[in-house]
């Protein structure tokens, strides 16, 4: 398969230094760095301190290398932990592919074609890899890069060739992407934003793990996940999501690597997300439960070498 060949080639050609930000940064950080506040809020300092403790506790007790960014303008809250460290995207890059396609169609003053809509739905709601490869190729690297530039996602590096899953992303840039979908802006029009959010709200149940954990069931969760085992650094388990409804709007991004299994990585992401969602929605009873990852699900969501 072309994507498998591209990923194999990328593994051989991408310099090892690109992968040094993870464990190297974690080792350099040390206990003192881990103890620094992760979250800040001038209006809700106790809330910021509580979420900081949750994120720090998960980081201390897991072998995963983790990057986190949380943004809740309503609470005046921002959390950042290694938010500019680079991670292999796996399938969370599919939201970027969709956004770039929508930006391209917008500039061409047209709607998506029937084929593009079918591919977009498959790519987001079922994480279909063939659809992602088709839209990656059809959108083209020029338009993909133009979108990144226009979106201010300056730390994102597109994967080589057709290897979209090896796009290098940061929690900071993924948060920028989510807020381009969540709020009015000059990059994506209202119909494009609503279309992307609607697809992310319709992700199939077996793929709705990760950042939705602990969220109130009354909120709409717009999510996209990625899972990829690849040397070095084991399983990459990434989850990005926006939360809307009942006068609330916030985002959570958790990127991880060095996970020994998919389930371990999902547990790491959900431990952080559950603490954040509970803190932002106190007193809520009906909540999204942690995912149960069966052995049958522990396969990569894209071809790998």
2-297: which CATH number, 3.40.710.10, 3.40.50.720, 3.20.20.70, 2.70.150.10?
Answer: 3.40.710.10
Cα separation, 80 vs 87, in Å, equals 15
Which residues in the chain show pLDDT less than 50? 1-34, 305
The pLDDT value recorded for residue 137 is 98
* Interatomic CA distance for residues 119 and 116, integer angstroms: 5
Coil, strand or helix: which one is 182? helix
Q: Determine which helix (DSSP H) or strand (DSSP E) holds 263, and give its type and residue range.
A: helix 262-280
Please report, for the chain, the start and end positions of each structural domain, with discontinuous segments joined by +: 2-297
Chain-wide mean pLDDT for the chain?
A: 88
Rounded to whole angstroms, how far apart are CA atoms 247 and 304? 42
Per-residue model confidence (pLDDT) at position 251? 98
Q: What is the pLDDT of residues 14-44, one digit of tens each?
A: 333 333 344 444 433 344 344 578 999 999 9
Going from the C-alpha of 210 to that of each of 11, 194, 202, 230, the distances in angstroms are 27, 22, 15, 20
Number of residues that this document lists for the chain: 305
86 Cβ contact list (under 8 Å, min separation 6): 18, 21, 22, 155, 157, 168, 169, 170
Question: How high is the pLDDT of residue 5?
Answer: 37
CA distance 17 to 247: 44
What pLDDT is recorded for position 292? 80
* pLDDT at residue 304, rounded to an integer: 54
Cα-trace Rg, the chain: 18
The model's pLDDT over 101-121, given as tens digits with 9 standing for 90+, comes to 999 999 999 999 999 999 999
Specify the pLDDT at position 35.
Answer: 55
Per the CB < 8 A criterion, the answer to whether 305 and 6 are in contact is no
User: Which residue in 281, 210, 294 sits closest to 248, CA to CA?
Assistant: 281
What is the pLDDT, as a whole number, of residue 140? 98
Cross-strand bridge partners of residue 240 = 224, 253
Q: For 151-157, which contacts have Cβ atoms below 8 Å and span 24 or more sequence positions?
A: 151/99, 151/176, 151/177, 151/180, 151/187, 152/176, 153/96, 153/177, 155/84, 155/86, 156/96, 157/18, 157/86
């Amino acid at each position: 398969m072309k994507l498998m060949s591209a990923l194999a080639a990328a593994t051989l050609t991408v310099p090892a230094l690109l992968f040094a930000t993870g464990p190297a940064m974690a080792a350099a950080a040390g206990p003192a760095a881990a103890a620094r506040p992760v979250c800040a809020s001038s209006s809700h300092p106790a809330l910021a301190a509580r979420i900081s403790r949750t994120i720090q506790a998960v980081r201390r007790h897991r072998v995963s290398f983790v990057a986190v960014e949380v943004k809740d303008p309503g609470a005046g809250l921002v959390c950042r932990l290694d938010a500019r460290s680079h991670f292999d995207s796996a399938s969370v890059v599919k939201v970027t592919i969709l956004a770039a396609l929508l930006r391209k169609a917008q500039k061409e003053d047209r709607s998506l074609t029937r084929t593009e809509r079918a591919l977009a739905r498959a790519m987001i709601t079922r994480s279909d890899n063939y659809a992602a490869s088709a839209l990656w190729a059809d959108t083209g690297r020029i338009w993909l890069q133009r979108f990144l530039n226009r979106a201010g996602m300056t730390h994102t590096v597109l994967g080589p060739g057709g290897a979209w899953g090896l796009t290098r992303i940061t929690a900071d840039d993924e948060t920028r992407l989510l807020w381009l979908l969540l709020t009015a802006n000059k990059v994506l029009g209202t119909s494009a934003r609503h279309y992307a959010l609607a697809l992310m709200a319709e992700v199939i149940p077996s793929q709705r793990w990760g950042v939705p954990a602990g969220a109130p069931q009354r909120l709409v969760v717009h999510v996209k996940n990625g899972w990829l085992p690849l040397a070095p650094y084991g399983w990459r388990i990434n989850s990005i999501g926006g939360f809307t409804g009942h006068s609330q709007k916030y985002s959570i991004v958790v990127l991880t690597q060095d996970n020994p299994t998919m389930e371990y990585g999902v547990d790491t992401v959900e431990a952080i997300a559950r603490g954040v969602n509970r803190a932002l929605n106190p007193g809520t009873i009906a909540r999204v439960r942690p995912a149960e990852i069966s052995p049958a699900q522990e396969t990569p969501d894209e071809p790998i070498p």
